[in-house]
C-alpha cells in the first residue's frame, strides 16, 4: 500500500472508533435521566442548599444570590444566580478564579440522582437540601 492509502485507512479507522464514543450526557439520557429546566429547576434550587460530590455547599437564596464553601479548598465563595432564557442555571461568581456561566442539570426521576455539568467542563453528583442548614 502507498502512503496515501495507509493514511486514508488510518483516518477511516479513527472515524469509526470515534463514531462509537458516547458523551456522558448521552449515557445519562439512555439511563433515563432528563435535563431539568426552567421553573422545575428554579423550584429545586431556589431557597435550597446544593451539596456537590466535591464536598461543596452553596445556598441559593430566592433573591438570586448564592454563598457557601468550596469543597476543594474550603474557601467561602458567593455570587448571583438566575435561570436564563434557555431554562438553565447561570451563576456569576464573585471569585475571579471560578468560571462564571451556565450549567446543565440532569435528573433521574426513579433514583432522584442529580448530575450537574458545570462551567468548568466537569460533571458533579449533586444533592439539594431544603433551606439553609449550614447558615450561609
What pLDDT is recorded for position 42? Answer: 97
| Residue 12 pLDDT | 40
Residue extents of the structural domains in the chain: 34-130
99-103 own/partner pairs: CB under 8 Å, 24+ apart: none
Residue 115 has pLDDT above 70, yes or no: yes
Contact at 8 Å (CB) between 16 and 100? Answer: no
Per-residue buried b or exposed e for 49-77, using 16+ beta carbons within 10 Å of the residue's own CB = bbbbeeebbbbbbeeeebbbbbeeeeeeb
| Whole-number pLDDT of residue 10 | 39
CA geometry: angle 96, 102, 30, nearest 5 deg: 135
- State how far Cα 119 lies from the chain centre: 7
Answer yes or no: is pLDDT of 31 > 70.
Answer: yes
pLDDT 10s digits, 37-87? 999 999 999 999 999 999 999 999 999 999 999 998 999 999 999 999 999
- Looking at residue 72, its pLDDT comes to 87
CA-based end-to-end distance of the chain? 67
Topology at the third CATH level for domain 34-130: Lipocalin (2.40.128)
> CB count, 10 Å around CB of 87?
17
Residue 57 half-sphere exposure, CB side, CA atoms within 13 Å?
Answer: 11
Amino acid at each position: 500500500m502507498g502512503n496515501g492509502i495507509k493514511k486514508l485507512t488510518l483516518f477511516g479507522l479513527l472515524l469509526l472508533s470515534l463514531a462509537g464514543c458516547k458523551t456522558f450526557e448521552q449515557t445519562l439520557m439512555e439511563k433515563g435521566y432528563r435535563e431539568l429546566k426552567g421553573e422545575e429547576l428554579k423550584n429545586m434550587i431556589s431557597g435550597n442548599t446544593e451539596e456537590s460530590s466535591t464536598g461543596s455547599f452553596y445556598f441559593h437564596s430566592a433573591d438570586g444570590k448564592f454563598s457557601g464553601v468550596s469543597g476543594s479548598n474550603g474557601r467561602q465563595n458567593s455570587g448571583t444566580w438566575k435561570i436564563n432564557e434557555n431554562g438553565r442555571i447561570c451563576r456569576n461568581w464573585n471569585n475571579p478564579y471560578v468560571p462564571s456561566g451556565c450549567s446543565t442539570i440532569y435528573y433521574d426521576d426513579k433514583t432522584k440522582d442529580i448530575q450537574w455539568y458545570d462551567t468548568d467542563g466537569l460533571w458533579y453528583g449533586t444533592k439539594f437540601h431544603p433551606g439553609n442548614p449550614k447558615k450561609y
